[in-house]
């Protein structure tokens, strides 16, 4: 089991992905993926200033959230949790409520879904701080492109379920991944986000194996305007990289990534 501790969602995004690409978490290579099992991302302070999904290359935050809501938002469990918190507030030192993300749409598709479930916990006692914490369980997650959308969606779920007076005390949120993975083809997006957020000088040290070499190759392709991919996801990644990183910075970007 691995634990990644971060101050907020954006910090968690970078720390988790950096650890995965550097293969610092317990896991292994499965085809073109590096998969880590049993990982918890502990976000110490859930904040409101997480980047809009368009900043991660999504065409529309609204459409992405609508899709996630159709796929995962199980109305009954969230309504029951909200009613429970309203009833128990002021009368209990601890209240916990489960949340389900297994909708009829997921069941009918035969797909188990990536977000499985969650819980919200309200803790209050005389003379002590009142705190709201959350836990969410993922069956599997791709963490460069998909996870930002999931974080924005779960934020909406928390705000829908929890009464406003409790949101003021929202603190730690823990994401538990049965499995999480990255692929070489999405590596340029992480590098572009690091450049955008001023974190590129941290550098990334890739393992000198097929996965690390694949990441280097993907980044080289993104910086080569003569390269033309036929894989639609990679085309979007490369276009995002080139919109985000000026061509004059390409060599600087390449110099921040190394094989060890």
**Residue-number span of the structural domain to which 18 is assigned:** 2-182
Q: What residues form DSSP beta bridges with 30?
A: 33
In this prediction, residue 213 carries a pLDDT of: 96
CB atoms within 10 A of CB 153: 22
Q: Are residues 66 and 149 in the same domain?
A: yes
Q: Are residues 174 and 190 in the same domain?
A: no
Q: Of the candidates 120, 154, 182, which is a domain's last residue?
A: 182
Q: Are residues 253 and 138 in the same domain?
A: no
Render pLDDT for 135-177 as a digit per residue (tens, 0 to 9).
999 999 999 999 999 999 999 999 999 988 888 788 899 999 9
Cα(93)–Cα(23) distance, rounded to whole angstroms?
A: 42
Q: Are residues 191 and 172 in the same domain?
A: no
Q: How far is CA 43 from CA 2, 5, 68, in A?
A: 14, 6, 21
Task: Give the list of residues 6+ apart from residue 208 with CB closer than 8 angstroms, or none.
Answer: 259, 260
- Global pTM reads 0.92
In this prediction, residue 126 carries a pLDDT of: 60
Question: In total, how many domains does the chain have?
Answer: 2
Cα(132)–Cα(111) distance, rounded to whole angstroms?
A: 31
Q: Kindly give the parts of the chain with pLDDT less than 50.
A: none
In this prediction, residue 128 carries a pLDDT of: 61
Helical ranges in the chain per DSSP H = 9-21, 61-72, 75-88, 104-109, 146-161, 164-167, 187-196, 210-222, 232-244, 250-255
Query: At residue 137, what are phi and psi to the nearest 5 degrees?
Result: -110, 130
Q: Of the candidates 157, 182, 207, which is a domain's last residue?
A: 182
Closest by Cα among 218, 219, 206 to 252: 219
């Amino acid at each position: 089991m691995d634990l990644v501790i971060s101050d907020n969602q954006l910090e968690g995004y970078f720390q988790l992905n950096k650890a995965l690409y550097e293969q610092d978490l317990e896991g292994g290579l499965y085809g073109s993926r590096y998969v880590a099992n049993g990982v918890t991302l502990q976000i110490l302070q859930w904040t409101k200033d997480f980047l809009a999904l368009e900043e991660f290359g999504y065409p529309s935050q609204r459409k992405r959230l609508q899709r996630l809501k159709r796929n995962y938002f199980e109305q009954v469990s969230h309504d029951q949790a909200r009613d429970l918190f309203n009833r128990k507030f002021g009368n209990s030192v601890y209240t916990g409520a489960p949340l389900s993300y297994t909708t009829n749409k997921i069941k009918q598709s035969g797909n188990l879904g990536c977000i499985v479930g969650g819980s919200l916990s309200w803790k209050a006692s005389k003379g002590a701080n009142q705190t709201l914490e959350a836990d969410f369980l993922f069956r599997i997650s791709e963490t460069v492109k998909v996870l930002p959308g999931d974080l924005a969606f779960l934020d909406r779920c928390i705000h829908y379920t929890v009464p406003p007076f409790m949101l003021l005390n929202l603190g730690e949120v823990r994401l538990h991944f049965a499995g999480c993975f990255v692929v070489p083809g999405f590596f340029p997006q992480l590098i572009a986000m690091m450049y955008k957020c001023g974190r590129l000088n941290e550098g990334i040290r890739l393992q000198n194996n097929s996965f690390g070499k694949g990441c280097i190759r993907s980044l080289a392709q993104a910086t080569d305007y003569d390269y033309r991919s036929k894989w639609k996801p990679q085309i979007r990644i490369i276009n995002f990289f080139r919109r985000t990183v000026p061509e004059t910075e390409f060599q600087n970007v390449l110099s921040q990534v190394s094989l060890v």
